[in-house]
Each structure stands twice: as structure tokens, then as C-alpha cells.
Structure 1
């Protein structure tokens, strides 16, 4: 920091910005808006990468910093397929202010993660940068609600998603965005059986991608599954997928369909808003007893 302070105090500064991204799979890439490559904090940062950082708004306390990274997919370091596959989701981001004449003199101006990635024309993309305080806004602990807060099939739920609750099939067809897929009818499963469930791609270009199922209906001798959001990579006829049953989180469903009421994680007897709004009246019995 002292070297950078001396550079800034000299009147004619030679500073640029650099940012280093660390993906969850261990890949580390560096970029800079300088006109030549630099090595910053031990990481080679490429120039002319087609990636730029927007203005950074910083605040005191626990407020979340706001920033944005934007660019065009003009460099083989960041591929459209990787972005759409989610490989860059929640990647760690460090932004530096660097003296390009002496890259060892730098200051870290931002540290956080990549957030939501948006798309524009001609392969352009934008990504929100989320500060270190972002996780503090997430719900911690249990939520007391009438419906179960466990995920069907996880350790808290305890249901084993075997042949009665899941199926592996080949895709008959899919739309371009990967939101609506057609699979065999599977008559041994009732319509809507897979609503609120999950679809996992087992082969093809989108292998490994998964998404929650919004609707499940029978149409023209096939089962049509609509997902809550796009798989982001194309799914072709013949690709294999695994579809898992869904649960509406009600105690009756847990008891009657999955025979799992002992593991039910909801609070169905919690008073609702109508009880909170109740008040005594002049007429009738008001002794607090049960009517």
C-alpha cells in the first residue's frame, strides 16, 4: 500500500485496475484494463480481455457494497458455455488498484463474489459483484411456518427417492431455452406427480445441470415438464435425464403419500393471521374457554 500511496502522491500517477476471479473448481484467472499484461499479487492478469469493471459504491458498517463487471466474450478465458453452465456462479472476486509501472504496489478495493449474470446482444454479459456482507442478509436458522422446510430426499427429510419417486428417461424433445421438455408418458406416475420436484441432466451438452420442475402434465401421449428457469445449456432428443417427485410440504402429503410424518419439519398448528387479528366482542361467550 505504501508504494501505491507514494505513486499517487507524485502528481502524475500510473494506476490501472485489475481483478482476479477464483472459481469453485480451483481455476484462477486475472484481468486488467491496462494495455499490457501484468502480474498482480502473484496472478497473471491479461490485458484486452474484453472484461471491464463498473463503478464501485462502498459503504460503512454492514451495508452491502455494489459493483458490476461487464464485458464481451472475446477471450477464450471466459467462455459462453461455462457462464451458462454456472461454472462462474459465486466465484470469488478481488479488485485491485495497481501501479502498472510497479505492479507490486497495489491496494485491494473490493473483495466478494460474482452474483447474477445477465446477457446482452452479441455475447455481451454483465455480472453483479456481491460484497462480503451479502451472506449476512440471508435467513439463518429455522423458519416457523405451517409447511415443511426440508427438501424432499435430503437428510432432514429422510425419504429415499427410489423407483417409486423417481425415473430415468430419454428426452423426446425440448425448447431452445431448455425450459420445457417432453419425455415418455410414464403412465405409472400420476399427472403432476413431479411438480415441485427436480430434473437432473445425466448426458449430453447439459450434463450435470439441474432445475426445479414447475408443472407436470400429460399431453399428446407424452409427459411435458416445465422448469422454473432455463437449464442454460441445450438439451437434445436422446439425452438422458432423471426426474424426481415433488412435495407440496403439507403434513397431509407427508403422511398419506410419503408415509414420513415423523420427519415432518413444519408447524401446521401455528396460529395464522386470522388468529392474530381476533379481538373480543360484546356479544357471545368471552371466558377464554373452547367453543
Structure 2
């Protein structure tokens, strides 16, 4: 019996299933059923408090809109991980299955309701809600880049083309004071606007923006989400301030600069003779 036929029965035993894959590869399954369901090699853990809002699908650029709500659970999606951003941008799939059919096992009836990635996450008391951004949302993005004096590329991407192999460095952190991370042997300013990725400890896998660095310290945009022990390893990646002078002078990459540094600004419209 297909899913449509199952939905037409006078009595149905349906359950929602969520497959969530973080950017670091960690994958979990959750179900609204009161017992675990093993489907496709993944165990969907019972999470009766998890509920999806109405899922709207149609012809248009807005794609699918949905919300995922539930209670914070330490063994599935913890409050600490949510606030640390581990689930930001995670791939999310929502399915509908029938768990109590006599002739089918869970997963035999498998209807895709929505897929996309986790967007904004809101917390209220001991509960949370997460927005599902549908795949069609990319159709609403700008077709052509906006004109700007700063470079629109990201250091090392396909538009920039700077080789990043020699511009990453693993450092040993000797201590953390707020947003300042102590690490020695650095060239001042090289890692400003770059990133720091934690390779160990409670923050492992998290990536943070670097505001500036000196010879023996790195200043992050925000303090680490969790405590950092001395001796923790971190990967530093150089950054760029997106200015033409930096691109040409420091990286020798002026030919690939993706900006318009000499374009007259809005102040040109306010000028008058003799000003």
C-alpha cells in the first residue's frame, strides 16, 4: 500500500521523522513516535515533544516554510550546542512514515515533507524552535553582485584564487582570557579577518572569526562558547581586509580583486564648483 492509500484508511499510525546532519558530519534522527524507529541504517530516537509546524509548498520562489519545535534534550540537541552554533546550517529532512502497519515495517511508507537547512534558532525557557530554509530559497538570491569598493571574494575561494596551503597554521593555545587567545610565534595582523577552528576540547569543530592578532595573542570576535584548557590545538587561517592595497601588496593578487576601488562614491553627487 502506498502512502496515499495509507492516508485514506480510517485508522492510521503516522509519525514524523527528522534527519539532521551537522556541517561537521554528525547525524542524528528524531521521531515524534514514543519509541525509537530504525530506518535506513539510522536510529530515529523517540522525541514526542518534537513537532513540525504546517509545511507550505507551492509554485513560487519562497520554497518551503516550516518550523521545528521541541524540548531541549541533552542526548540529542542540547542547549549548549544550540547556543554555540553547532547546529547552524545543518541539513534537515522531514519525513512522514507509518509505524504501526501490519504489512509494512517503519520506513516502507516514507513520504518526504520538506528538506533544507536549519536557519534561525530561538530559545524560550526549556524549549527551542528552529526555522527550516527550503532549497528553493537560493532562487531569491541576487543574480548579479552589487558594486562595492571592497572585494566581494573570500580569501582563497574560486574568485580570489589565492593558494591557502601556506596560510594556515596549527597553534597550541596556552590560555584564554575572554576573547583573547594566547598563542606564540605569530606575525602581527596576518590572521585579522580570518578564522580560528578549534581542533580539541569542548569547542572542537567550532569556527570563530578573528578580529586581530599580535605576536603572541589572537583576539576573537566573541569569546569561546566553552572553557578552553591549556594545550588545546587550534587551526588559524589568514584573513584579508578586502582592500585593493592589501590584495596587491600582501598577496600579489590585484588582477583577481573583485571590487571597484576607483569608482566615484555618492559624495560626488553633492560636489559643486569651488567646493
TM-score, normalising length: structure 2 = 0.72
Contact 2:94–2:113 (8 Å) recurs in 1: yes
Partner of 2:95: 96
Contact 2:95–2:111 (8 Å) recurs in 1: yes
Tell me, yes or no, if structure 1 residue 249 matches structure 2 residue 205: no
Q: 1:197 aligns with which of 191, 194, 197?
A: 194
Distance in 1 between residues matched to 2:4 and 2:238, nearest whole Å: 60
Partner of 1:135: 138
Partner of 2:119: 115
How far residue 225 of structure 1 moved from its aligned partner, in angstroms, is 0.7
**Cα distance, 1:242–1:27 mapped onto 2, change above 3 Å:** closer
How far residue 38 of structure 1 moved from its aligned partner, in angstroms, is 4.0
Contact 2:61–2:140 (8 Å) recurs in 1: no
Distance in 1 between residues matched to 2:24 and 2:172, nearest whole Å: 29
Partner of 2:219: 225
Once the two structures are superposed, what CA deviation does each residue of 1:66-94 show, in whole Å capped at 9, x if it has no partner?
21223334363445676567664444333
Contact 1:159–1:260 (8 Å) recurs in 2: no
Aligned length: 268
Report the structure number with the largest CA radius of gyration.
1
Once the two structures are superposed, what CA deviation does each residue of 1:187-220 show, in whole Å capped at 9, x if it has no partner?
962xx664322223344332343222235579xx
* Unmatched segments (≥5 aa) in structure 1: 285-291
Partner of 2:209: 212
CA RMSD of aligned residues (A): 4.1
TM-score, normalising length: structure 1 = 0.69
Partner of 2:19: 20
Tell me, yes or no, if structure 1 residue 32 matches structure 2 residue 31: yes
Distance in 2 between residues matched to 1:41 and 1:204, nearest whole Å: 32
**Cα distance, 1:44–1:260 mapped onto 2, change above 3 Å:** closer
Contact 1:170–1:237 (8 Å) recurs in 2: yes
Contact 1:70–1:127 (8 Å) recurs in 2: yes
Contact 1:171–1:181 (8 Å) recurs in 2: no
Tell me, yes or no, if structure 1 residue 236 matches structure 2 residue 229: yes
